[in-house]
Amino acid sequence: MSFVSVDFGLLVPELVVLSAAFLVLVVDLLGSRQRGASLWWLTLCGLGLALLLAARGWNLSASTLSGTFVLDPFVSTVKLVFLLSAFLVTLTTLDCRLISRLSLGEYYSLLLFATFGFMVLASAGDLIMIFIGLEMASIPCYILAGYAFEDVKSNEAGIKYFLLGAFSSAILLYGMSFLYGLCGSTFLSEIGFSIGQSGQKLLVMGAFGVFLAGLTFKMTVVPFHMWVPDTYEGSPTPVAAFFSVVSKTAGLVVLIRILAYFKQGFLALEVDWTQVLSILSVLTMVVGTVIGVVQTNVKRLLAYSSIAHVGYLLIGLCAGTSAGIDSIVIYLFVYLFMSIGAFAVVTAVSRAEGGEELANFRGLNRRSPLLAASMAVFLISLTGIPPLAGFIGKFFIFAVAIEEKLYTLAIVGVLTSVVSLFYYCKILKAMYFAEAEDPGAAPVAVSPGMRVGLVLMSFFTLALGLYPVPLVEMARSAVRLWLGS
Amino acid sequence: MLLDLVYATAFALGGLAFLLFALFLGSLVRPHDPSGRKLTTYECGEVPVGQSWSQFNIRFYVFALCFVIFDIETIFLVPWAVVFKNIGLVAFVEMAVFIGVLLIGLAYAWRKGALRWAL
C-alpha cells in the first residue's frame, strides 16, 4: 500500500506562515488587554521568519505532494515578493482608521492565510492545486476587503470583490474542466505535453482562452478590471496595498508558469498567444492611465495606476523570452516598494483627515515634510523618472520590448507613462504648492511601525534605482535556473 | 466527426421523444380531477405562512457551518481509521494536526460567542 509522501522541508516557509496565522488566532483568544501589540509582533516575526527561510532555500528545484507542489528559484523569488509585501503591509496597518483595534486578531490571521494561499498558488504544479491555492487566497481577501464592518464603502468593496471573484473563479474552473477533458490529466506538465498531441487547435484555444479570462480577472487586466476601482477605494487602505501587489503578482506568476509548461504544446499546434496578450497589455495601459487622469480620490487614482502597471508587466510576458521574465521579476520587486509605500502614505493622511480625496493632501509638505517627501519619492518612482527604482523597472521592460521588436507596446508604454506623470503630479502639486484648508493643522501623526515602513520603502525605492545590480542579477539567475532545469 | 454529430442529434431527439411519449401515455391512463388544493405550495396540505423572503436569524447559518465542519471531519476520519494500521505514526500525527486545527476553530467560535443563541 502506498500513500503520498510529503517532503515537509520544501513546505517550510508556507508552514511557518500558516502556523503564525493559527498562533495569532490563539493568542487573540487568550484575550489580554495588551494583545494588539503582541499580535502585531507575532505577525511580523512569522512573516520575517518565513522570509528568511524562503530566501535560504531560494535555489532549490524540487517537487513534492506527488508533483502538485513545485519549488524552483523563480517561484521562490515570487514568494519573497508576497512575504515582503505582507510584511510591509503589516508594518503600516496600525495607522488605518477603518480597522478596529478590537478585531485585529482576525485581520492579521486573514492576512497570513491569504499570503499562505498565494504562496501555494505560485507553487502549484497541477490544476487542482491552482484552484485550491486561489480559493485559499481569495476567500480571506474578500473578507479583508469588507473588513471595516461599519463603513458602507468597505461593505460595498467586499461584496463586489466577492461576487466578481466568485464569478471569475467559476470561469477559471470552466476553462480547467475543458483542459482536463482534452488531456485527461490535471498536471500542468502532462497537459502541456498532450495538448500538442491532441491536434484539437480550436478546442485548445477555447479552453485556454476561458482559463485566461478567469486569470486576467484576478490580474485586473483591462476588459476584466471594472471591480478594481470600487474595491480598492472601499477596502481599508493597507488591504488595498496588499491587493495591488500580491493578488496581481499571483495571477501573473500562474500565467507565466502555465505558458512555460504549455509552450511546446502551443508550438506544436501553432497557437500563439502573443497577439492576444499584446492587445490586453495595450488596453490595460491605456485604460488604466486615461481613466486615472480624471480621478479626484487618491486611492481610486492609485487603483487605476495599479491597473496601468499590470499593462507594463504584461509587455514582459508578450516578449516570451527569459529576458522578458527577468524584467517582470525586476519590475515586481520595484513595484512592491513604491506601490505599498504610496498606499501607506494614503493610510496615514486618511487617518488624520478622515478621507483620501486630493483636497486632503493639500499643504501636506507644510504639515509633515517627511510624509510628503516619501510620497513624492513613491509617485516619481511610479512614473518612472530616472534616479528612482521605477525607472529601472520600466527600463528593463521597454528594453525587452524593443529587443523583441514589439515597438507598438514600447511606444504605448512610454506614452502612457508620460500621461501618468500628469496624475501623479496632481498629488505632488496638492502636497507642495496648494495651501492647506486649515493652515494651523497639526502634523500627521504616524505610528512607529509606519515610520519604519516608510523609511524602508523609500530607502529601497532610492537604492534599487541607484544600484539595481543585485536585484537584476538575482532575477536573471532565478529565471535562468528555472528555465534551465 | 459528422457521424458523431448525427449520433448526438439522434440521441437528443430520441430522449425528447421518449419524454413526450411517456407524458402522453400517462395522460391517457391517469384520472383528471383538478382542484384548488393541488396548486398550493405544499401538496401535503400545509398552508404556508407569510412570504418566503422573510428574515431569519443569521445564527442558524453559523450553527450549520460548525455542524458541517465536524460532519466533514467524520468523513475523513472513517477512511483514515481503515488505513491507519498500514500507515502508522505519520497518519496519527497528520490526523492529530487536522483535528487540532478544527479544535482551534471550535475554540475560536466558542470564545467569540458564535455558539450563543442570544445576542
Closest Cβ–Cβ partner in A1, A3, A29 for B108: A29
Rounded alpha-carbon distances, angstroms, from residue A305 to A287, A290, A382, A421, A471:
10, 10, 8, 10, 24
Amino acid at position A248, single letter: K
Task: Tell me the pTM.
Answer: 0.87
Residues in chain B, total: 119
Which residue in B has a C-alpha nearest to residue A31's C-alpha? B111
Please give the pLDDT value at position A1.
40
A193-214 pLDDT tens trace = 888 888 788 888 899 999 999 9
Is B11's Cβ below 8 Å from some Cβ in A?
no
Is A203's Cβ below 8 Å from some Cβ in B?
no
Is A102's Cβ below 8 Å from some Cβ in B?
no
Q: Which residues contact A166 (CB under 8 A, 6 or more apart)?
A: none
- Surface of B (49-88) touching A: CB under 8 A: 83, 86-87
Mutate to test the interface with B, among A26, A103, A109 (most CBs of B within 10 A): A26
User: B60 pLDDT band (50/70/90 cuts)?
Assistant: confident
Rounded alpha-carbon distances, angstroms, from residue B75 to A196, B63, B90, B93:
39, 19, 19, 18
Q: Residue A324 has which C-alpha cell?
A: 522578458
Q: Residue A232 has which C-alpha cell?
A: 480598492
Q: What are phi and psi of A69, to 5 degrees?
A: -120, 115
Q: Which of A371, A372, A373, A395 is nearest to A383 (CA)?
A: A395
- For A69, the enclosing helix (H) or strand (E) is strand A69-71
**Chain A: closest CA distance from residue B90 (Å):** 10
Q: How far apart are CA A57 and CA A265, in angstroms?
A: 31
Which residue in B has a C-alpha nearest to residue A25's C-alpha? B108
Note the ipTM here. Answer: 0.73
Amino acid at position A329, single letter: V
Please give the pLDDT value at position A436.
76
* Terminal CA-CA length for chain A: 32
Asked which of A129-133, A252-256, A340-344, B42-46 is least confident by mean pLDDT, the reply is: B42-46
Rounded alpha-carbon distances, angstroms, from residue B54 to A249, B48, B49, B50, B61:
43, 12, 10, 8, 15
Please give the pLDDT value at position A240.
93
Which residue has 460532519 as its cell numbers? B71
Cα A376 off chain centre by: 21
Q: If DSSP codes are grouped into helix, strand and coil, which group holds residue A388?
A: coil
A225-277 pLDDT tens trace = 889 999 999 999 999 999 999 999 999 999 999 999 888 888 888 888 888 99
Question: Does the pLDDT value for residue A3 go beyond 60?
Answer: no
* Number of Cβ atoms within 10 Å of the Cβ of A29: 15
Q: How far apart are CA A26 and CA A33, in angstroms?
A: 14
